[in-house]
């Protein structure tokens, strides 16, 4: 068919910084409680799980705050499945999905899989979106659905609330704000603060990043109750297992402990940015747990040289650029030392 599935290298290496995971371990005390909850859940797996996972939605609403209720929350197996369900409900033949590129590589794949027209709009040179630019493009293309990723993957570019509000007012379609990396942005409020009075605004989140829960596969959505009702029409029956629900509820109960590493990740991100800037590389501003770094004469060669040393980062095919996840202090030190040595050898 000439198509390529989503994929990122999964090589077994000592320092894996390529898929924006939280590389810090979950606290032992929290692991103990999660395992206890899973043990209880296993005793009932001869029965189907709660199809509407009400307790999980209540927990998610409590975590997000801002007066949200369970009727405004939805969840699925990762935010990718949440986005897929949105496109199943609101996309399809004769409808379109617009986003600003470069951005998350799954968006066009999800559009293709739901027979929704993909409309890519190139970001400005600095990757930042402004209210005027976004409004102009949305009025021009009038898509059925638009996605704003903030902080944006793979550039790390933060997304301001005034840009989101302007985007909502610029067209009549569904506006999704993908906040997979929101917890790492210490300066901006979540788009959930804009939900009141905006029934076409959907805010997608995940527990894969800041919560260090990537292997559990839990993404979620905050939106108008009518949107949640629409997603119920397209989801598969019992799509969230009893084990996933139990693990996620336990993790949310200990959100403060689970998110305790976020501040350290920001420190390592900024430390890495400073070190790479000192080496002469172009480090793009980031509100996420990763950096997009330019100035590599041969990104593929650098990627392979680091991989040979047991360090895995991401080559996304952006000319002159590589993307690097901020890891632990030790991982960051290893990476900085390796890049310093490589840069010195090249120069």
Confidence band of 28 (pLDDT split at 50, 70, 90): very high
Go through 31-47 and write b for each residue having 16 or more CB atoms within 10 A of its CB, e for each that does not.
Answer: eeebeebeeebeeeeee
Tokens coding 336:
């900085």
221, exposed or middle or buried, with CB in 10 Å at 0-12, 13-18, 19+? Answer: buried
Tokens coding 15:
């320092």
Sequence-ordered list of residues with C-beta below 8 angstroms from that of 134, at least 6 positions apart, any chain = 100, 148, 163, 166, 167, 170
Confidence band of 316 (pLDDT split at 50, 70, 90): very high
Q: Residue 219 forms beta bridges with which residues? A: 76, 206
pLDDT at 120 over 90: yes
In CATH, what is the architecture of 28-255? Answer: 3-Layer(aba) Sandwich (3.40)
pLDDT at 347: 63
Mean pLDDT of 6-10: 70
- Report how far residue 9's alpha carbon sits from residue 306's, in angstroms, rounded to the nearest whole number: 14
Mean pLDDT of 276-280: 97
Tokens coding 34:
């999660």
pLDDT at 4: 76
Mean pLDDT of 181-207: 98
pLDDT at 346 over 90: no
- Report how far residue 213's alpha carbon sits from residue 228's, in angstroms, rounded to the nearest whole number: 23
pLDDT at 222 over 80: yes
3 state SS of 28? helix
The region that residue 49 occupies, defined by phi over 0 for left and psi between -120 and 50 for alpha, beta otherwise, is beta
Go through 127-160 and write b for each residue having 16 or more CB atoms within 10 A of its CB, e for each that does not.
Answer: bbbebebbbebbeeeebbbbbbbbbbbbbbbbbb
DSSP labels, 58-101: HHHHHHH-TT--GGGEEEESSHHHHHHHHHHHH-STT-EEEEEE
pLDDT at 1: 62
Q: Residue 177 forms beta bridges with which residues? A: 148, 203
pLDDT at 102 over 80: yes
pLDDT at 68: 98
Cα angle at 132 between 100 and 136, to 5 degrees?
Answer: 65
- Report how far residue 24's alpha carbon sits from residue 288's, in angstroms, rounded to the nearest whole number: 16
Mean pLDDT of 196-210: 98
Mean pLDDT of 96-100: 98
Q: Where are the domains of the chain?
A: 15-25+260-346, 28-255
Fold topology of 15-25+260-346: 3.90.1150
pTM: 0.96
pLDDT at 138 over 80: yes
Sequence-ordered list of residues with C-beta below 8 angstroms from that of 6, at least 6 positions apart, any chain = 105, 106, 109
Confidence band of 345 (pLDDT split at 50, 70, 90): confident
- Average pLDDT along the chain: 96
As a whole-number percent, the residues of the chain with pLDDT over 70 amount to 98
pLDDT at 95: 98
- Report how far residue 341's alpha carbon sits from residue 55's, in angstroms, rounded to the nearest whole number: 51
pLDDT at 12: 84
Residue 137 in contact with residue 98, Cβ under 8 Å? Answer: yes
Mean pLDDT of 196-224: 98
5, exposed or middle or buried, with CB in 10 Å at 0-12, 13-18, 19+? Answer: exposed
- Report how far residue 334's alpha carbon sits from residue 343's, in angstroms, rounded to the nearest whole number: 14
């Amino acid at each position: 068919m000439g198509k390529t599935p989503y994929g990122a290298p999964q090589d077994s290496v000592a320092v894996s910084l390529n898929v924006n995971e939280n590389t810090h371990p979950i606290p032992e005390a929290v692991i103990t409680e999660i395992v206890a909850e899973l043990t209880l859940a296993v005793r009932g797996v001869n029965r189907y799980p709660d199809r509407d996972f009400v307790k999980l939605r209540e927990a998610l609403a409590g975590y997000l705050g801002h007066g949200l209720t369970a009727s405004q929350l939805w969840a699925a197996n990762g935010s990718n499945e949440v986005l897929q369900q949105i496109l199943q409900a609101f996309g399809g033949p004769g409808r379109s999905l617009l986003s600003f590129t470069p951005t998350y590589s799954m968006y066009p794949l999800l559009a293709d899989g739901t027979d929704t027209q993909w409309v890519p709009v190139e970001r400005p040179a600095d990757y930042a979106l402004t209210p005027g630019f976004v409004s102009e493009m949305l009025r021009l293309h009038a898509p059925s659905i638009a996605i704003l990723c903030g902080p944006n993957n793979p550039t790390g570019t933060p997304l301001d609330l005034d840009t989101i509000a302007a985007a909502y007012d610029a067209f009549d379609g569904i506006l999704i704000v993908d906040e997979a990396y929101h917890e790492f942005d210490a300066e901006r409020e979540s788009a959930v603060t804009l939900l009141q009075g905006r029934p076409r605004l959907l805010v997608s989140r995940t527990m894969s990043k800041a919560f260090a829960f990537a292997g559990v596969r839990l993404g979620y959505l905050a939106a108008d109750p009518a949107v949640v009702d629409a997603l119920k029409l397209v989801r598969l029956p019992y799509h969230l297992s009893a084990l996933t629900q139990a693990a996620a509820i336990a993790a949310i109960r200990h959100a403060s402990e689970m998110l305790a590493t976020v501040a350290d990740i920001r420190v390592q991100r900024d430390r890495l940015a400073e070190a790479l800037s000192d080496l002469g590389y172009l480090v793009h501003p980031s509100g996420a747990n990763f950096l997009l770094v330019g100035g590599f004469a041969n990104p593929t060669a650098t990627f392979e040289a680091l991989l040979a040393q047991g360090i895995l980062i991401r080559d996304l095919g952006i000319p002159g650029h590589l993307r690097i996840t901020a890891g632990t202090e030790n991982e960051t030190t290893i990476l900085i030392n390796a890049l310093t040595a490589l840069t010195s050898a090249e120069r």
